[in-house]
Amino acid sequence: MPEGPTFAEPAATALLLPFAGSRRELAEYETHGGYGSLRKAVGMSSQELVDEMIASNLRGRGGAGFPAGRKASFLAQAEPRYLVINADESEPGTFKDREIILRNPHALIEGVLIYLWMIRGAAAYIYIRGEYAKEASILEGAIAQARERGYVGAPLLGTDYVPEIVVHRGAGAYICGEETALLSSLNGDRGQPTAKPPFPAVSGAFKRPTLLNNVETVATVPTIIGMGGAAYAGVGTEQSTGTKLFSLSGHVQRPGNYEMPLSATYRDLIEVVGGGLPEGRSLKCFVPGGSSMPVLMPEQLDTGLAFEAVVAAGSMAGSGAVIVIDERTCMVRFALRTAEFYMHESCGKCTPCREGTRWIVELLRRMEAGLGSSEEIDLLLNICDRVEGNCLCVLGDACAMPVRSHIRNFRAEFEEHVTLGRCPCPDDAPMAELYPPLLRAPLPMVTV
Amino acid sequence: MSATQPATETVTLTVDGREITVPKGTPLVVAAAEQAGVEIPVFCYEPRLGPPIGACRMCLVEIEGAPKLQAACTLSCTDGMVVKTAETSEQAKDAQDGVLEFMLLNHPLDCPVCDKGGECPLQDLTFRYGPGNTRMTIPKRTYEKPLPISPSIVLDRERCILCYRCTRFSGDVAEDGELVARERGAQSVIATFAEQPYANAFSGNVTELCPVGALLPTAYRFKARPWEIVNVPTVCTGCATGCNTWATLRENKVERILSRNHPDVDDGWLCDKGRFARFEPRDERIATPLVREQTGLTAAAWDDALRTVGQRLRHHSSLAGPGGVAIVTGGSLTNEEALGWKAISDSLAARTASAPVAAAADWESLAAYAASLVAVDDADAVVVIGDQEPADRAGTLDLRIRKARRAGAHLAIVGPGGTSLERDAKSFISTLPGAGSAVLAALTAAVVEAGGEHVRSDAPTAGSLESLATAAGAEVGQLRELAGALTAAQRPVLIVTDAVDTADIARLAWALGLDRRAGGVLPLPVGANERGERAVGLVGGWDEVLPALEAGTIKAIVLVGCDPVLESADGERWQLALAQTEAVISVAAFTNGVTSQSQIVLPLDVEHERDGTVMNLEGRVQRVRPSLAPVSGVPQIEWTSRLAGFIEVTTPASPLKAFTALAESNPAFAGLSWTEAGDRAELQRERPAAERPAAGKPAKPAKAPEKGAFRLVAPRPLFSGAAVERTASLAHQRAGIVVLARADAERLGIARGAQVVVRHAAGEHVGTAQLSRRLLPGTVRINWRGAAGTGSTAVVGAQ
């Protein structure tokens, strides 16, 4: 096993999640020092808190990696202001926020309260994906405990500020993880992205200034306030500080959520923590940060987990969903399955995404059925080019990027489909282990 | 707002190498087209629908410094911006080709059989910008089609490019939320909410907003091709708003009405009455003079009929003396036609009447406070007082009021409730029905009490605020609050929807100092050209004629284009009075309650048959142009002139001559030009100095009805009249409605949607129950086809 740069004992770097077990009960959480950061935060001014966040150099964990402290500083001053937590975790392969809610919900609640205090928010809305029914009820239970304890719905720790937290369940649309679509949905409108400006920091929830953050980002805040921004910045790399949760899945021995310092590498994650691929298999490629990201190849295993390292390798760290793909996998089928997801989830608002995702899927279906042609592979690449960057939000990009990456890296496999007139892979090529089958049926047509 | 804002800041930017300077905040698509002469194609952008949404992506451009292409529609011009459109940017050109290709992927390309073909933005842009071929190897999406979304509109989902213009109109302009997008992604479709018909009064506008052939007026399907039609610019005379229109003429038939966007009048919108109502079928029209014989009304020769009319009028005039003859109109004439009748009535010393209520039509008394329609856009407070919805009198004004509210104006509704504008109004003040006059008096007192910069404390008040409020049935506290808002507003607009004495309005306007502020009073006439007829000289009201008719002092009456039996609250009295009048002569388009009592009936020219001008509710004089010959073959202005000859007066026989005469001799028309009236006419407006109005007592609302009975609120709805009643596709707009207060409905055991019958003086109204939270208990609101009188008694029961 090659030496990882700074990755030491996992237990030592568990800042966000308990290394083992759960702390779902408030008492248990408090035994481990829970809500101590909140007490500390209440003694600090808004500016001091923002400064602390900036010192930590925490980058948003939702996928874009935007510095959280700077984001907080952009919030318009007009009252009332809202905090919205994005718990609409829907990117295939991503299940880290669920882990936080399941095992450490009070870290999220404490983070929400610190954030609320920092912006003196009128209320916080936790927008949780509809499919997370169990998680929503756990969260509701934890909030009820915090309410009972006087952290929520009552003057906060001797101040005259009363924080309020509302859990709002989504209705099952991936696009509502996009911030403007999430806010549209929260506002009671159709869950579709809107053009920016206006930015949520000026006009978001209920058309008021709104700070919107990912679950993991917010749940990390108690740690930052607890240990101090500068100390937190000491973990990880200079540009990507701290630890981050990685959802490891696919053809790997020990799939699961792992908290890794951002100074570790994909090899640390996949081979050391994840136990590598099952006996006798070899790595074909891996998805570094959620199904929308271009894949990395085996020779790129030593790429760092840090945001900047993944970008340098030609992909993006995204949400931290790492999908391991072994040599038996049909890349056409994998591209198709990925594209099908995005076609299914396209909101239909802007033209390139609505029409482009369907065209991409239809062409991949033809290819997988052996009906395509070499020209159609180029056509597919051209469609991806014309979708990417031209849409209202990044969903279209999310469909185009992996498809193009698969063609670029495995063009021969696509050509083989076309030349043979069939899929060269065995029928039991392991798709089911990558994503559960969802869209096997032909395109549903609406006839009313 | 423009008047109060400082000089506009400008920015300088470069579009395709051309440097342009535009006001800061100008949308890039507009700036590029207007200043740089570069067209940026776009489908979803339409500023009248609210903020841009950047959905179609047709307008992608390269902006220096931006990492990817940007939608020009959502960008405002900023200083130093360097823009490269598809003209000069390879990247933008490729994206544009791509977007157009995506749009056409599933579009059926059935232009040869599509009604939009030839006037279709998608077709035009495809020819101008498209790649010209397809690379698609997959089947197109198909849907069931055409899908009627209402009796007036059909939807073709295959042609739809999902630009969301229609749903934005429904959601953000008309604010009905009836038209929605359903499903998502490639399966997204336009649909109506809960499969209900799209019944909004302004629904037809989506057929014009649609940039493809997806939403089409049912009546126009497969009717015409663009090269065989003529679009005649004219003005709608469905109400007094005066919306500018195109009449699409094909083979001597008006097949379609389109908006001819006059931003100051209609904002490019039309109501469905103006768009779809037709005086058809033409073969049911009164096409020749009819003279009553023993067998009934019989066709007569023009000269015989006109000579008889002339003889009778002269006979009764000379016998009964001044006032022995009455010429009654109702706003359906052009100014030029009215001039002929004015000359005839002068020569006969006849009474005239152009408005249902004389005192409510004294528009000149409000001239010092007059507001234009566009003043509503800029208003910071809009107050609607009365039983009627503004839309009942002035269709598209409703959309303008909503627009003002969205822009932040304080919208206050004062009335008995149960109207659609209440829902989002900032304040609602409940009053008795028919209490408009009392409300104005009470508000005047409240304004004087509130005082303030603009307020004149010498305004005549009719009593204490408390007693006036009681008479109006309004809460003193609410009136005080509204008075406070009105006195504080910089640009308030007052809209009085009912036929109240204009002196009541003038007293409030004087107290508020509306003559010294932007905004003002926007009166709503009943007849489309009521203001014009009055300005020409046909003054007076039906309410003044009726008692004289009943007393028998009027021996001969000519009813020109009006039917007081149906259209006045005193219908029954009119019927009886007409029956006992010696000579009844009517001019009508179709047989009605008045023609059946007439000895002589002459054919009325209607819209699209007349040349001339009309004056809208603001006082704007606009030209109506004919598309068709009058059904009788003889234009009314011509035969009126011939009739005048038999009475030995001379009147101009051509519209232009009549207009010239008006412009030369009538101050209301002085300085107007025939040409300018024909194209986006300006409002010639000089506010005279205000004079302190005389004191006066407000009219009292009707007495409380007997126990168990209801107060009736039955203003004449927008969807009423001879043309509407004959237009099959508008039948759903006339469907009976009965609005009840929740408490009353509960007491009577009437559920929402139940069929309810309302018996009132003018007849029996059957309608679907709607429950209102705000309608005054003990009151029932119906959309009766005529004017059933407000505040009168009605009995409500489940059918």
ipTM of the shown complex: 0.90
Residue B3 scores a pLDDT above 90: no
In this structure, the answer to whether residues A340 and A321 fall within a common structural domain is: no
Alpha-carbon gap: A121 to the closest alpha carbon of chain B (Å): 25
Which strands, in side-by-side order, build the sheet including B556-560?
B296-299, B290-293, B600-603, B583-588, B556-560, B325-329, B351-353
A-chain CB neighbours of B94 within 8 Å are 385-386
pLDDT at residue B33 in the model = 77
In this structure, the answer to whether residues B371 and B340 fall within a common structural domain is: no
Give the domain-ending residue among A296, A326, A356. A326
Give me the percent of chain A exceeding a pLDDT of 90.
Answer: 85
In this structure, the answer to whether residues B437 and B295 fall within a common structural domain is: no
In this structure, the answer to whether residues B385 and B514 fall within a common structural domain is: yes
In this structure, the answer to whether residues A226 and A81 fall within a common structural domain is: yes
Q: For residues B496 and B383, is the Cβ–Cβ distance under 8 A? A: no
Query: Could you please report the per-residue DSSP string of B345-391?
Result: HHHTT-EEE-BSSGGGG-GGGGGGGB--THHHHH-SEEEEESSS-HH
Q: For residues B360 and B234, is the Cβ–Cβ distance under 8 A? A: no
User: Is the minimum CB–CB distance between B66 and chain A shorter than 8 Å?
Assistant: no
Residue of B57, B106, B181 lying closest to A390 (CB–CB): B57
Q: For residues B489 and B519, is the Cβ–Cβ distance under 8 A? A: yes
Structure tokens at A21: 């077990």
Alpha-carbon gap: B621 to the closest alpha carbon of chain A (Å): 42
In this structure, the answer to whether residues B351 and B471 fall within a common structural domain is: no
Q: How far is CA A235 from the centre of its chain?
A: 21
Residue A357: CATH number of its domain: 1.20.1440.230
Residue B771 scores a pLDDT above 90: yes
pLDDT at residue A448 in the model = 33
Residue of A348, A349, A390 lying closest to B95 (CB–CB): A390
Q: What is the pLDDT of residues B415-434, one digit of tens each?
A: 999 999 999 999 999 999 99
Residue B444: CATH number of its domain: 3.40.228.10
In this structure, the answer to whether residues A397 and A359 fall within a common structural domain is: yes
What band does A446 get if pLDDT is binned at 50, 70 and 90? very low
Number of other CB atoms surrounding residue A32 within 10 Å: 11
In this structure, the answer to whether residues B485 and B498 fall within a common structural domain is: yes
Average pLDDT across chain A, whole number: 90
In this structure, the answer to whether residues A218 and A357 fall within a common structural domain is: no
In this structure, the answer to whether residues A290 and A335 fall within a common structural domain is: no
A-chain CB neighbours of B211 within 8 Å are none
Give the domain-ending residue among B523, B545, B575. B523
pLDDT at residue B136 in the model = 85
Q: Count how many domains chain B has.
A: 4
Give the domain-ending residue among B523, B539, B558. B523
Question: Does B136 reside within a domain?
Answer: no
Question: Does B192 reside within a domain?
Answer: no
Residue B733: CATH number of its domain: 2.40.40.20
In this structure, the answer to whether residues A47 and A157 fall within a common structural domain is: yes
Residue B72: CATH number of its domain: 3.10.20.740
Q: For residues B376 and B346, is the Cβ–Cβ distance under 8 A? A: no
A-chain CB neighbours of B106 within 8 Å are 355
In this structure, the answer to whether residues A344 and A402 fall within a common structural domain is: yes
Give the domain-ending residue among A263, A295, A326. A326
Alpha-carbon gap: B154 to the closest alpha carbon of chain A (Å): 14
pLDDT at residue B2 in the model = 41
Structure tokens at B161: 């490019």
Number of other CB atoms surrounding residue A263 within 10 Å: 24
Q: What is the pLDDT of residues A172-212, one digit of tens each?
A: 999 999 999 999 999 999 999 999 989 999 999 999 999 99
pLDDT at residue A433 in the model = 60
Question: Does B54 reside within a domain?
Answer: yes
Residues B445, B459: Cα–Cα separation, whole Å: 8
Q: What residue numbers bound the domain in which A21 lies? A: 12-233
Residue of A347, A389, A443 lying closest to B68 (CB–CB): A389
Q: How far is CA B322 from the centre of its chain?
A: 37
User: Is the minimum CB–CB distance between B126 and chain A shorter than 8 Å?
Assistant: no
Q: Do B99 and A352 touch (CB under 8 A)?
A: yes
Q: What is the pLDDT of residues B59-86, one digit of tens each?
A: 999 999 999 999 999 999 999 999 999 9
Q: What residue numbers bound the domain in which B489 lies? A: 361-523
In this structure, the answer to whether residues B380 and B502 fall within a common structural domain is: yes
B-chain CB neighbours of A178 within 8 Å are none
pLDDT at residue A429 in the model = 60
In this structure, the answer to whether residues B447 and B493 fall within a common structural domain is: yes
Residue A170: CATH number of its domain: 3.40.50.11540
Q: Quick one: which of A368, A437, A378, A443 has its CA closest to A408? A: A378
Q: Quick one: which of B342, B296, B381 has its CA closest to B596? A: B296
B-chain CB neighbours of A362 within 8 Å are 138
Residues B243, B616: Cα–Cα separation, whole Å: 9
User: Is the minimum CB–CB distance between B95 and chain A shorter than 8 Å?
Assistant: yes
Of all residues in chain B, the one with the smallest CA distance to A372 is B137
Question: Mean pLDDT, to the nearest integer, of B494-508?
Answer: 95
pLDDT at residue B569 in the model = 86
Question: Does A426 reside within a domain?
Answer: no
Residues 6+ apart with CB under 8 A from B767: B735, B736, B737, B738, B755, B756, B758, B782, B783
Q: Count how many domains chain A has.
A: 3
Of all residues in chain A, the one with the smallest CA distance to B147 is A448
Residues A89, A256: Cα–Cα separation, whole Å: 16
A-chain CB neighbours of B180 within 8 Å are 190
Is the N-terminal amide bond of B523 cis, ω within 30° of 0?
A: no
Q: For residues B327 and B344, is the Cβ–Cβ distance under 8 A? A: yes
Structure tokens at B243: 């919306």
In this structure, the answer to whether residues A307 and A336 fall within a common structural domain is: no
Task: Look up residue B249 and give its amino acid.
Answer: L
Helix-, strand-, coil-residue percentages of chain B, each rounded to 5: 35, 20, 45
In this structure, the answer to whether residues B511 and B396 fall within a common structural domain is: yes
pLDDT at residue B56 in the model = 96
Residue A292 scores a pLDDT above 70: yes
In this structure, the answer to whether residues B443 and B367 fall within a common structural domain is: yes
In this structure, the answer to whether residues A264 and A374 fall within a common structural domain is: no
pLDDT at residue A7 in the model = 43
Q: What is the pLDDT of residues B696-740, one digit of tens each?
A: 988 888 788 888 899 999 989 999 999 999 999 999 999 999 999
Give the domain-ending residue among B467, B496, B523. B523
pLDDT at residue B707 in the model = 84
pLDDT at residue A39 in the model = 96
Alpha-carbon gap: B410 to the closest alpha carbon of chain A (Å): 19
pLDDT at residue A428 in the model = 61
B-chain CB neighbours of A194 within 8 Å are 53
In this structure, the answer to whether residues A105 and A207 fall within a common structural domain is: yes
What band does A442 get if pLDDT is binned at 50, 70 and 90? very low
Name which of A340, A341, A355 to mutate to probe chain B: the one with the most chain B Cβ atoms within 10 A of its Cβ: A355
Q: What is the b/e burial string over B72-108, where b = at least 16 CB atoms within 10 angstroms of the residue's CB?
A: bbbbbbeeebebbbbbebebbbbbbbbbbbbbbbbbb
In this structure, the answer to whether residues B418 and B290 fall within a common structural domain is: no
Residue B6 scores a pLDDT above 60: no
Residues B764, B785: Cα–Cα separation, whole Å: 11
Give the domain-ending residue among A270, A305, A326. A326
Phi, psi of A141 (to 5 degrees): -65, -40
Give me the percent of chain B exceeding a pLDDT of 70.
Answer: 99
Question: Does A412 reside within a domain?
Answer: yes
Question: Mean pLDDT, to the nearest integer, of B450-467?
Answer: 93
Structure tokens at A55: 């010192």
pLDDT at residue A426 in the model = 75
Q: For residues B534 and B354, is the Cβ–Cβ distance under 8 A? A: yes
In this structure, the answer to whether residues A31 and A151 fall within a common structural domain is: yes
Question: Does A437 reside within a domain?
Answer: no
Residue A158 scores a pLDDT above 80: yes
Name which of A199, A202, A342, A349 to mutate to probe chain B: the one with the most chain B Cβ atoms within 10 A of its Cβ: A349
Residues B743, B669: Cα–Cα separation, whole Å: 52
Q: Do A348 and B181 touch (CB under 8 A)?
A: yes
User: Is the minimum CB–CB distance between B147 and chain A shorter than 8 Å?
Assistant: yes
Which has the higher per-residue pLDDT, A417 or B3? Answer: A417
Q: What is the pLDDT of residues A213-267, one digit of tens each?
A: 999 999 999 999 999 999 999 999 999 999 999 999 999 999 999 999 999 999 9
Q: Do B57 and A392 touch (CB under 8 A)?
A: yes
In this structure, the answer to whether residues B384 and B503 fall within a common structural domain is: yes
Question: Does B142 reside within a domain?
Answer: no
| pTM exceeds 0.80, yes or no | yes
Q: What is the pLDDT of residues B201-224, one digit of tens each?
A: 999 999 999 999 999 999 999 999
Q: Do B187 and A446 touch (CB under 8 A)?
A: yes
Residue B291: CATH number of its domain: 3.40.50.740
In this structure, the answer to whether residues B101 and B19 fall within a common structural domain is: yes
In this structure, the answer to whether residues A23 and A132 fall within a common structural domain is: yes
Question: Mean pLDDT, to the nearest integer, of A402-430?
Answer: 89
Q: Quick one: which of B137, B542, B181 has its CA closest to B329? A: B542
DSSP bridge partners of B55: none
Question: Does B692 reside within a domain?
Answer: no
Residue B633 scores a pLDDT above 70: yes
Question: Does B621 reside within a domain?
Answer: no
Of all residues in chain B, the one with the smallest CA distance to A365 is B138
Q: What is the pLDDT of residues B666-698, one digit of tens each?
A: 999 999 999 998 888 999 878 999 999 999 988
